[in-house]
């Protein structure tokens, strides 16, 4: 197995024109980009219909000797199942949809279908993103939440996403959910539940991101082993737990970057994620796709951080062994037996 390509997810860099970012990413050492479907990086409504536009975006990457393995439409995906009933989600949708929960949802569903069409036109097989959740706000069961309410939420997810996944099937593309709080799946049990809700259809898989699991005290390597056949793409992202007796794992309504938080994201290799075990698990399950750096660290310069993250990922990645470590001893033993037999 050759080394996995190391790519950069452009979501946190959407303030930069793609042409500028592509040049910087190559200088930072990356093999490719995972294009976010916002900023000027990728317009899925345009890419779904205009193959010339798709060729231009790919040519821009090729000019900088960068590859494209996946695109990501997280913001639109969030609005598919989110209640969409406050101003937070307005920023993810066109202005004409602001303040109208169902208008945001309709736009998001079409955006996700177009993401599948765009991926096909770009020649990639994976679209990553979020699903949103109609039941995340019911996480703490008080006032009491019945199991029927939870099951209704999973059914709502299935009803909204199955038509989207039909389009993914039609285009020969798969969707990778970034398992994450505020989504329909955020740990091992809820991921199982989500897969059951949509009948385990192959178009729906996982964009594995260990950072969101780590701060919830979920073992990322165990997650990989559990869903080994559903890992369609991998994000490399780090987080740290900083619980000190005064804060909670719920974040305390303190913004990212506030040192008082009970957890936060960190530049790769500077947090608490055990990437050694993740690489071993990826080798076990036979994942050969890209390792895509999603860089977030409010306390660090992003060029410095993304540059060292690329080097860290390249250094931590390794091939699995093709032989047992003691195979050489067995060979020597066999040769000795053969020689002894020959002398006789």
* pLDDT at 300 (0 to 100): 97
In this structure, is residue 171 part of a structural domain? yes
For residue 272, give its domain range.
6-343
The span from the CA of 18 to the CA of 57, in Å, is 9
Cβ atoms of 9 and 1 within 8 Å: the answer is no
Cβ atoms of 121 and 47 within 8 Å: the answer is yes
Pairing of strands 204-208, 32-36: unpaired
The mean pLDDT of 134-146, rounded to a whole number, is: 96
Kindly state the helix (H) or strand (E) to which residue 309 belongs, with its residue range: helix 302-316
CA proximity to 197, closest of 223, 216, 177, 181: 177
Query: Which band of pLDDT confidence, cut at 50, 70 and 90, is reported for residue 135?
Result: very high
For residue 179, give both structure tokens: 């398992």
Q: What is the CATH number of the domain that holds 142?
A: 3.20.20.150
The span from the CA of 140 to the CA of 145, in Å, is 8
pLDDT tens per residue, range 68-123: 999 999 999 999 999 999 999 999 999 999 999 999 999 999 999 999 999 999 99
For residue 119, give both structure tokens: 């991926």
For residue 146, give both structure tokens: 């019945």
In this structure, is residue 266 part of a structural domain? yes
Least confident of 1-15, 32-46, 52-66, 209-223: 1-15
30, 315, 2, 272 alpha-carbon torsion, rounded to 10°: -90
Count up the domains in the chain and report the number: 1
Cβ atoms of 156 and 203 within 8 Å: the answer is no
Q: How far is CA 191 from the centre of its chain?
A: 14
The span from the CA of 263 to the CA of 54, in Å, is 39
pTM to 2 decimal places: 0.93
The shares of helix, strand and coil residues in the chain, as percent rounded to the nearest 5, are 50, 15, 40
Query: How far is residue 253 from each of residues 118, 214, 217, 241, 263, measured CA to CA in Å?
Result: 37, 19, 20, 16, 12
Query: Which band of pLDDT confidence, cut at 50, 70 and 90, is reported for residue 330?
Result: low
In this structure, is residue 1 part of a structural domain? no
In this structure, is residue 78 part of a structural domain? yes
CA proximity to 292, closest of 69, 125, 77: 69
The mean pLDDT of 288-306, rounded to a whole number, is: 97
Cβ atoms of 167 and 116 within 8 Å: the answer is yes
Pairing of strands 126-129, 67-72: parallel
Query: Which band of pLDDT confidence, cut at 50, 70 and 90, is reported for residue 36?
Result: very high
The mean pLDDT of 302-323, rounded to a whole number, is: 93
Kindly state the helix (H) or strand (E) to which residue 206 belongs, with its residue range: strand 204-208
Query: Which band of pLDDT confidence, cut at 50, 70 and 90, is reported for residue 326?
Result: low
CA proximity to 281, closest of 317, 314, 243, 333: 317
In this structure, is residue 113 part of a structural domain? yes
């Amino acid at each position: 197995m050759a080394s996995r390509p190391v790519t950069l997810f452009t979501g946190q860099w959407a303030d930069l024109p793609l042409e500028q970012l592509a040049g910087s990413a190559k200088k930072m050492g990356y093999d490719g980009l995972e294009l976010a479907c916002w900023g000027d990086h990728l317009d899925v409504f345009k890419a779904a219909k205009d193959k010339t536009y798709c060729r231009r975006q790919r040519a821009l990457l090729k000019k900088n000797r960068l590859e494209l393995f996946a695109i990501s439409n997280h913001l639109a995906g969030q609005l598919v199942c989110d209640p969409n009933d406050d101003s937070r989600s307005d920023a993810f949708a066109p202005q004409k949809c602001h303040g109208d929960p169902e208008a945001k949802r309709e736009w998001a569903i079409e955006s996700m279908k177009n993401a599948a069409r765009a991926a096909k036109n770009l020649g990639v097989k994976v679209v990553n993103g979020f699903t949103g959740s109609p039941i995340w706000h019911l996480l703490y069961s008080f006032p009491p939440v019945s199991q029927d309410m939870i099951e209704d939420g999973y059914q709502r997810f299935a009803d909204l996403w199955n038509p989207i996944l039909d389009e993914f099937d039609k285009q020969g593309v798969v969707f990778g959910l970034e398992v994450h709080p505020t989504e329909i799946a955020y740990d091992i049990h809820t991921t199982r539940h989500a897969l059951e809700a949509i009948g385990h259809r192959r178009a729906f898989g996982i964009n594995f991101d260990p950072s969101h699991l780590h701060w919830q005290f979920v073992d990322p390597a165990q997650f990989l082993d559990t869903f080994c056949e559903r890992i369609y793409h991998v994000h490399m992202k780090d987080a740290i737990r900083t619980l000190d007796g005064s804060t909670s794992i719920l974040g305390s309504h303190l913004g990212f970057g506030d040192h008082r938080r009970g957890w936060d994201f960190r530049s790769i290799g500077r947090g608490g994620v055990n990437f050694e075990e993740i690489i071993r698990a990826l080798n076990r399950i036979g994942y050969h796709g890209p390792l895509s750096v999603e860089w977030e660290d409010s306390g660090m310069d992003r060029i410095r951080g993304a540059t060292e993250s690329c080097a860290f990922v390249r250094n931590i990645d390794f091939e699995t062994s093709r032989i047992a470590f003691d195979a050489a001893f067995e060979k020597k033993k066999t040769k000795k037996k053969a020689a002894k037999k020959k002398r006789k």
